[in-house]
Amino acid sequence: MKRRTFLGGAMAVAVVGYGSSTLAQQPPIKIGMSMPQTGGLAGGGKASLLGIEIWRDDVNAKGGLLGRKVELVVYDDKSSASETPAIYAKLVDVDKVDLLFAPYATVPTAPIMPFVKQRGLLLMGNFSFQVNSKVGHDMWFNNAPWGPADSWAASFLDLAQKAGGKNMALLTADQEFAQNLALTARDVAKKRNIPIVFDQVYPPNTVEFSSIVRALKAAKPDIVYVASYPPDSAGILRAVNEIGIGDSVKIFGGGMVGLQFAAVMSNLGSLLNGVVNYNTWLPEKSMYFDGTKEFFDKYTKRAVEAKVDPLGYYLAPFGYAMGQMIEAAVGATKSLDQKGIAKYLRENEHKTIVGPIAFSADGERKETATLQAQFRGVKDKDIEQFRSSGRQVILFPDKLKTGDLISPFEAARN
């Protein structure tokens, strides 16, 4: 009896081994990355990773790249800049990965830029902001829709000026990303002769904003540009709701981080109405491309299990798109030669689930695809409402536009 079981097992192993031998003979293509899975950036990092994993499963179901399976090698960088140099040295020198993806966000990515430049390695960027501007690596390609550095503030001020805004108030957190935005906003305002009537930088852990909002209101600005982080975004909106912001304000928002995440959105509910804020992907008609819907069907199912953002609009589809670009480039060049892949990525436009992507010389998008969208008709405590179109109407860019700005801000709040 025992011997028969053993024989059966051996045969089964042999059959399975034979069946998968075409894929098994070739070693897998390894893609290495670090990803914030603990610490402040973990929420975003996990959602981004899920997007990349869905791509891996899709491409493997289609037979892999160059007939080889794709395998991800992922380490946790604890959201810290000090962890990534050692991790990427391990990925390259010990794990001998074939390709590299960058971790989510600017801080963990910045220390590895000089390393990849020195070694001449291709790096697919993952939502960092202007991390290559000083390094000048020609094999860096950012998946984020940011585009040129000043386009972020420029698009918001375009909308504001069209609505009749003539002077601006700035309210910004004293942190890396918000200060980058504030810097470009001041530059753009100066170029366009928009006077800044209020410029307040607040420390990162501020929770009480009523005195700041009162001072802001007293300055009677037309345009209010806010660059804030999740906890303060909520605090600012609560204070605005209590105190009001005055009838002079034509447009409010711009760079508020947090209003892209399901938990924060459902928590704030109707307080969001009227706010114009940046975004990367929204469930509006103009945003569906080849494969977008299928991606979100898979994401929605797996997000529950992976305990990540149930909507996943902000990062996950761009993780998938990063994989799609590699898939296209490896397919076209029929090799893993990083120089060849970089050349292909630089010279072509790529079809992805977040729309066509083309790169400029610095590895950022040629044109910005960062959305400015206005919250409308949002009710309290309901995540599901954000899955339907019309809750966040896209005002910019023109190609993707699904509505016009309602102004002034007070009128749009109701």
Partner 1 sequence: MNKRNHSIAFWAAVVVFLVAVLSMTQIVRNEYPFFAGYVILQFIALAVAWSILGGYAGYVNFGTNAFFGVGVYTAVALFKATGAPLAVQIAAAAVVGMTLGFGVGLLTLRMRGIFFSIATIALAIIIETFVMNWRFVGGAAGIQIQRPPVMAPFDSYVKMLFFVQAILVVIAIAIARYIQNSRIGRGLQALRDDELAAECTGVPTLKLKLIACMISGALISAAGAPAAMYLQYADPSSAFNLSYSVSALAMALIGGTAHWIGPVLGAILLGSTQQLLAVTISSEVNVLVLGIMLVLFVVGAPKGIIGLLRPRYRLRAGGKQ
Residues in contact with partner 1 by the rule CB under 8 A: 37-38, 74-76, 78, 80-83, 85-87, 89-90, 93-94, 106-107, 110-111, 113-115, 131, 134-135, 174-180, 183, 203
**CA 309 – CA 315 distance, rounded (Å):** 10
**Least separation in angstroms between CB 157 and partner 1:** 21
**Least separation in angstroms between CB 156 and partner 1:** 19
**CA 82 – CA 181 distance, rounded (Å):** 24
- Give the nearer residue to partner 1 in terms of CB position, either 109 or 292: 109
**Least separation in angstroms between CB 31 and partner 1:** 15
- Give the nearer residue to partner 1 in terms of CB position, either 77 or 158: 77
Radius of gyration for the alpha carbons in the chain, expressed in angstroms and rounded: 23
- Give the nearer residue to partner 1 in terms of CB position, either 116 or 268: 116
**Least separation in angstroms between CB 13 and partner 1:** 28
- Give the nearer residue to partner 1 in terms of CB position, either 35 or 240: 35
**Least separation in angstroms between CB 102 and partner 1:** 13
Q: Taking Cα atoms as reference points, which of 223, 217, 229, 162 lies closest to residue 189?
A: 223
The tokens for 5 are: 């079981």
* Omega of the bond leading into 408 within 30 degrees of 0 (cis): yes
- Give the nearer residue to partner 1 in terms of CB position, either 75 or 386: 75
The tokens for 212 are: 């700041």
**CA 309 – CA 46 distance, rounded (Å):** 9
**Least separation in angstroms between CB 142 and partner 1:** 15
**CA 363 – CA 123 distance, rounded (Å):** 10
Beta strands, E only, 86-245:
99-104, 123-126, 140-142, 168-173, 196-202, 223-228
- Give the nearer residue to partner 1 in terms of CB position, either 75 or 252: 75
- Give the nearer residue to partner 1 in terms of CB position, either 180 or 324: 180
**Least separation in angstroms between CB 337 and partner 1:** 22
Given a contact cutoff of 8 angstroms between Cβ atoms, the answer to whether 313 and 289 are in contact is no
**CA 314 – CA 318 distance, rounded (Å):** 8
